[in-house]
Amino acid sequence: MTFTTYFNTMKITILNGDSSPDDSDFTKYISQLKKLYIDQGNEVEMFTLSAMNLKYCIGCWTCWWKTPGRCVHKDDGELIFRSVINADFFIFASPLVAGFTTALLKKITDRLIVLLHPYILIKEGEFHHHKRYDTYPEFGLLISRETSTDNEDIQIVEDIYKRLAINFHSRLRFLTITNEHLPEETAYATHHF
């Protein structure tokens, strides 16, 4: 399929949280989507989290107080933080496992707190962190259903990522279920919102 570009190209970061990415249908979908983005003229950086050295957030607050904006862990997280904050758009991608995203994706999602200040503001009547940077990219969420996934599971995941968007001074642009939509539909949704 050939695309004619009628939109600005973007820097897109994809965080692939598939825990068995080698031959899974989910990772094949992500790879097709990445190719579509590149064919559209976008610059794409994809992180396969299962192949990376990533530690869990330990809640030490070092990234807020001792070394502002820098995580205490000396692992591959720094590559992801830099890519996400410099992206025009980024994607959280994960098959659902026990009704939620994989532990791999949750691990890096928690660590994105490094991109915010520890100071609190009131936004929409709630307490949230101040921005560390002037702008934050909007994001999308790609998930695949398990056989036991119901609509309530999908709604819970969507609600949590919408909450993350508020905390991240951003917006969840779309949630796409990969076993119900083609990669072309997701590529289109990225640019047409």
Give me 93's structure tokens.
């991608």
- Residue range(s) defining the domain that contains residue 46: 11-191
Band (pLDDT 50/70/90 cuts) for residue 189 is confident
Per the structure, the count of domains in the chain is: 1
What is the phi/psi pair of residue 148, to 5°? -95, 5
Q: Say if 182 falls within a structural domain.
A: yes
**Mean pLDDT score of the chain:** 92
Q: Say if 1 falls within a structural domain.
A: no
Give me 49's structure tokens.
């989290």
CATH number of the domain where residue 185 is located: 3.40.50.360
Q: Say if 6 falls within a structural domain.
A: no
- Relative to beta strand 11-16, strand 43-48 is parallel
3-state secondary structure of 131: strand
- 93-103, pLDDT tens digit by residue? 999 999 999 99
Read off the amino acid at residue 172: L
- Relative to beta strand 43-48, strand 138-144 is unpaired
Residue 158: per-residue pLDDT: 97
- 27-58, pLDDT tens digit by residue? 999 999 999 999 999 999 999 999 999 999 99
Whole-number percent of the chain with pLDDT over 90: 85
User: Residue 108: which region, alpha, beta or left (left: phi > 0; alpha: psi -120 to 50)?
Assistant: alpha
Q: Is the pLDDT of residue 15 over 60?
A: yes
Q: How far apart are CA 56 and CA 58, in angstroms?
A: 6
Q: Say if 5 falls within a structural domain.
A: no
Q: Of residues 165 and 20, which shows the higher confidence score? A: 165
Q: Say if 104 falls within a structural domain.
A: yes
Q: Say if 59 falls within a structural domain.
A: yes
